[in-house]
Amino acid sequence: MDRDNHNTSLISKFAVTHIAPDCGIAKCVISRIIMWMVGWKVTGELPKHKKFVLIGEPHTSNWDFLLMFGAAYSLRLKVSWLGKHSIFKKPFGTVMRYFGGMPIDRSAKHNLVQKTSKLLQESESIVIVIGPSGTRSKREYWKSGFYWIAYTAKVNILCGSLDFVNKNVHVGLCFLPTGDVKKDMDKIRNFYKGVKGKYPELETDIRLKDE
């Protein structure tokens, strides 16, 4: 292979293959190196949508957040996430926002779905990452915010799994929520079947109180 063909092949490995927000080639390259160093792989393809809600599960450890970001950046995907407004205070606020953080006031829970849905509707291109289980501890239900945000905004939900047994972050199931909560959640349950987090005993059962 001559030098020009080699350079073209190398560039193509880091090319954008989606129409969602792009995190840039630098974050992509660094993330792929780090994921390779820690022995994790990223599989699946991003949907051809400019905006969607990305969920990542199971969530049982502090590593989950970092792995999800490593996977997103490896796919050259820029993601946004919602965080308690208190963590955006100086000196960390600037860093949080640089990595896609958006402060929210969790005391106003009844407005969160409406505000986030409006943000999605008004944005030309945005991907919001949400962890439906909401915590690393075992709960009775997933939080339903991710579902109603996507349903209200009329955007797709993309499912991402964190498989600690096989050290694989996979993005696959993508669908537009119909409002039939049980039917849609059955799709999600089927996607995550057999996937184990770092601490399986802390995994929240995949169901919504709304079912």
| Whole-number Å distance between alpha carbons of 24 and 76 | 6
Domain boundaries, the chain: 18-202
Query: Could you report the per-residue pLDDT of 154-190, keeping only the tens digit for each?
Result: 999 999 999 999 999 999 999 999 999 999 999 999 9
From the number of C-beta atoms within 10 Å of its C-beta (0-12, 13-18, 19+), residue 48 rates as: exposed
Phi and psi of 90, rounded to 5°? Answer: -60, 145
Which tokens belong to 7? 């350079």
What is the mean pLDDT of the segment spanning 189-208? 95
Q: Is the pLDDT of residue 7 over 50?
A: no
Q: pTM value?
A: 0.88
**Those residues with Cβ within 8 angstroms of residue 175's Cβ, 6 or more apart along the chain or in another chain:** 156, 157, 184, 187
* pLDDT (average), residues 206-211: 93
Q: What is the residue type of 52? A: F
Res. 4 pLDDT band, cuts 50 70 90:
very low
Residue 45 has a pLDDT of 92
Q: Say how many C-beta atoms besides its own lie within 10 A of residue 84's C-beta.
A: 11
pLDDT tens for each residue of 120-154: 999 999 999 999 997 778 889 999 999 999 999 99
The predicted pLDDT at position 12 comes to 59
> 150 and 75 in contact (C-beta within 8 Å)?
no
**What confidence score (pLDDT) does residue 91 get?**
77
pLDDT at 10 over 70: no
| 103-107 mean pLDDT | 70
DSSP percent split of the chain into helix, strand, coil, nearest 5: 40, 20, 40
Tell me the mean pLDDT in the region 84-93. Answer: 75
